[in-house]
Amino acid sequence: MIVICDYDPRWLALFESLRATLSAALGDLVSRIEHVGSTAVPGLAAKPIVDLDAVLRSGADREVAIARLDRLGYLHRGNLGIAGREAFTFRGSGPSPGAHHLYVCDPASSEWRRHLLFRDALRADAALAAEYAALKRRMANLHAEDPDAYTEAKTEFVEAVLHAAAKR
């Protein structure tokens, strides 16, 4: 079931907590850990799941990063069809750190750059963010039981924002 919630300022605190944990575990393997996705845009309605992109300093460090994340309680799910990006799900024992998706990205991957470009465009334009929130709510109602259809229904909007942002 796809549920879109009003913005929750606790999403930022969750991100900061996760970033601290991941930074300690990954150390100098990563150049940056970014809060991406809708929860990274203040005021934007979103699924209550924090998305993080951890950008490797070198693609050669991917296997070491996967091993470190495994020890931290993350299940490696592969690239899920997006080259240069590895997806992880927290499956550790003990208390959950909070709902989140973790992606480890090669520095040459365009995916993390697209995430930042889209996030920053929404952060810079409240009207655009409101338009996106309305679309997300409509599509969540229309495709409540089909996450793939929900995502596909947003693609045209996302690509238009990315195209306009790249021109700036």
pLDDT tens digits for range 116-138: 999 999 999 999 999 999 999 99
CA distances from 144 to 4, 49, 101, 147 (A): 10, 16, 20, 7
Task: Give the pLDDT of residue 64.
Answer: 98
Q: Which residue has the higher pLDDT, 84 or 98?
A: 84
* Cβ atoms 30, 65 nearer than 8 A: yes
Nearest to 12 by CA among 62, 46, 54, 59: 46
Residue 27 pLDDT > 70: yes
- Is residue 96's pLDDT more than 80? no
> In which band, very low, low, confident or very high, does the pLDDT at 54 lie, cut at 50, 70 and 90?
very high
> Sorting pLDDT into bands at 50, 70 and 90, what band is 168?
confident
